[in-house]
Amino acid sequence: MPIEIIAVGGYGEVGKNMTAVKVDDEVVIFDMGLHMPNYISITEEEPGEELLSRKSLIDQEAIPNDDLIKDWRKSVKAIIISHAHLDHIGAAPYLASRYNCSIMCTPFTAEVLKLIVKDQKRPLPNKIESKDYDVVYKIGEKISVQFINATHSTPESSMVALHTPYGVVLYTNDFKLDNTPTLGEKTNYDALKKLGDVKLLILDSLYGSFQRKTPSESVAKEMMKDILLGIDHKGKAIVVSTFSSHIARLKSIVECGTKINRKIIFLGRSLYKYCSAAENAGIAYLSKEVEMVKYGKQIKKRIQRILREGKDKYLLVVTGHQGEPKATLSKMADGIVPFRFGPDDRVIFSAPIIPAGINKNHREILEAKLKAFHVRIFRDVHISGHGSREDMHELLELVKPEHLIPAHSEEKVIDATIELAEQLGYKKNQTVHKVLTGQKLIV
Ligand SMILES: [Zn+2]
């Protein structure tokens, strides 16, 4: 029984992703992520300068409980981070120092991790190694890793192949199969086909209940164009909020804003952080096209100038699409940042409402405040970065894994994904496995 998997976090729940795989006596960890709703309910914002205690975060289920693998701790050869989203990378500052090994990821992810660590002012002892796609890196006596380009909603996302003497373990949190991405290349189908004997697939099944193929990011770009270029915005403010890590989306917004002759300003610390990481990794140079304003005091000053010059000369991109009380958009609605919303000003949410109680609540409060100013609200100008059932079906056809574990979703969605696998000939408990956080599987 050569390969053992412990679901440390992110199985039967959405968030705090972490998986440990043991091959004989060598261990690899995939991802160390935050549970965003639980983390935000403690801190009210994304990771900043504060560093909370590891124990309190574990107790409140904001980070994975890695005591589940304490017996394996000394055998860990590498921590592999699949991409730069906080639910995959955000717990590394709290947990990685417990392991005497490097953190490996693609260059953009490495830059984001360095900036997160710098913000928290507690240096990590682990070396952060930035790796290229398609190279097979030896990390132990018997195991090697290979990063494979995958389309998602932040740059340089990866599927990661762990090559072992017993076949490949393929980790695919998170992906979709976007054939017309607006930034970067499409998923490397050739590399996937060439993997050979895939013993186990750990499958991003967030949308395992959706009978569709997730549309391309180029569709989101068209949605944005339709609103920004297709409507006359004369005399009105335009404020857009999206994920700071979604560089492709930010690029689309900038492209549209430039076409309607608005000066574009990014307001908020996390936008600056991810745009800097993209520049450091050589992916996109947004600071050449837009003005970036990071901190509260500078933001207030800049807003005053905008009001003097006329808010219809600008397109503002701000943090706070989930209604986070400390983010720029909420502060604008509250008057803490002295922006005066007027009737028919536009607020475009280029993000979904993340379906957790705290997000729904925050967003409802924010939208009510905006409606009190008679602002026009454009919701859901967004396409997800996660594949749906037909993306999953496609991936299964490509790599033909012997075993399958649905991950990154609620329990009922795992059941739906198992049903899909059964339609494709997998047998429940034999080749498709229901694994929940805290459980172990041997294949
Ligand atoms: Zn992701």
Distance 152 CA to ligand 1 centre (A): 7
Average confidence score pLDDT of the chain? 95
Between 65 and 46, the more confident residue is: 65
Q: Rounded to the nearest 5°, which phi and psi values hold at 48?
A: -130, -130
pLDDT band at 46 (very low <50, low <70, confident <90, very high): low
Q: Is the pLDDT of residue 50 over 70?
A: no
Distance 66 CA to ligand 1 centre (A): 21
pLDDT band at 51 (very low <50, low <70, confident <90, very high): low
Q: Is the pLDDT of residue 1 over 80?
A: no
How confident is the model at residue 63, as a pLDDT? 97
Q: Which two tokens stand for residue 309?
A: 């010059």
Residue type at 429? N
Asked if residue 118 lies in contact with residue 45, where contact means CB atoms within 8 angstroms, the answer is: no
Smallest Cα–Cα separation from 391: which of 178, 182, 184?
178
Whose tokens are 């549970």? That residue is: 35
CA 377 to chain centroid: 25
Distance 23 CA to ligand 1 centre (A): 26
Q: Give the pLDDT confidence of 358-405 residue by residue, as tens digits.
A: 889 999 999 999 999 999 999 999 999 999 999 999 999 999 999 999
How confident is the model at residue 42, as a pLDDT? 83
How confident is the model at residue 18, as a pLDDT? 98
Q: Give the pLDDT confidence of 192-218 residue by residue, as tens digits.
A: 999 999 999 999 999 999 999 999 999
Distance 349 CA to ligand 1 centre (A): 19
Distance 85 CA to ligand 1 centre (A): 5
How confident is the model at residue 47, as a pLDDT? 63
Domain 219-378 classification at class level: alpha beta
Distance 8 CA to ligand 1 centre (A): 17
Residue % of the chain over a pLDDT of 90: 91
Q: Give the pLDDT confidence of 292-328 residue by residue, as tens digits.
A: 999 888 999 999 999 999 999 999 999 999 999 989 9
Q: Which two tokens stand for residue 189?
A: 């189908």
Dist. CA 383–CA 375, nearest whole Å: 23
Query: Residues with Cβ < 8 Å from 253, sequence gap 6 or more?
Result: 224, 228, 240, 242, 264, 315, 317, 350
Q: Give the pLDDT confidence of 18-34 residue by residue, as tens digits.
A: 999 999 999 999 999 99
Q: Give the pLDDT confidence of 244-253 residue by residue, as tens digits.
A: 999 999 999 9
pLDDT band at 123 (very low <50, low <70, confident <90, very high): confident
Distance 141 CA to ligand 1 centre (A): 30
pLDDT band at 44 (very low <50, low <70, confident <90, very high): low
Please state the domain extents for the chain.
3-213+385-442, 219-378
Query: Residues with Cβ < 8 Å from 437, sequence gap 6 or more?
Result: 7, 8, 9, 10, 11, 12, 13
Distance 52 CA to ligand 1 centre (A): 23
Across 290-299, 405-414, 431-440, least confident range: 290-299
Dist. CA 296–CA 288, nearest whole Å: 22
DSSP state for residue 312 in the 8-state scheme: G
Q: Is the pLDDT of residue 48 over 70?
A: no
Asked if residue 251 lies in contact with residue 243, where contact means CB atoms within 8 angstroms, the answer is: no
Distance 203 CA to ligand 1 centre (A): 13
CA 136 to chain centroid: 24
Looking at domain 3-213+385-442, its CATH architecture is 4-Layer Sandwich (3.60)
Sequence-distant contacts of 354-363: CB under 8 A, at least 24 apart? 354/36, 354/37, 354/322, 356/36, 356/37, 357/37, 358/37, 358/40, 358/41, 359/37, 359/40, 359/322, 359/323, 361/323, 362/322, 362/323, 362/324, 362/325, 362/330, 363/321, 363/322, 363/323
How confident is the model at residue 241, as a pLDDT? 98
- Stretch 156-185: mean pLDDT: 98
Distance 143 CA to ligand 1 centre (A): 25
Q: Is the pLDDT of residue 442 over 60?
A: yes
Smallest Cα–Cα separation from 171: which of 184, 162, 163, 179?
162
Dist. CA 46–CA 110, nearest whole Å: 18
How confident is the model at residue 8, as a pLDDT? 98
Q: How far is CA 164 from CA 7, 258, 278, in A?
A: 19, 50, 33
Distance 410 CA to ligand 1 centre (A): 16
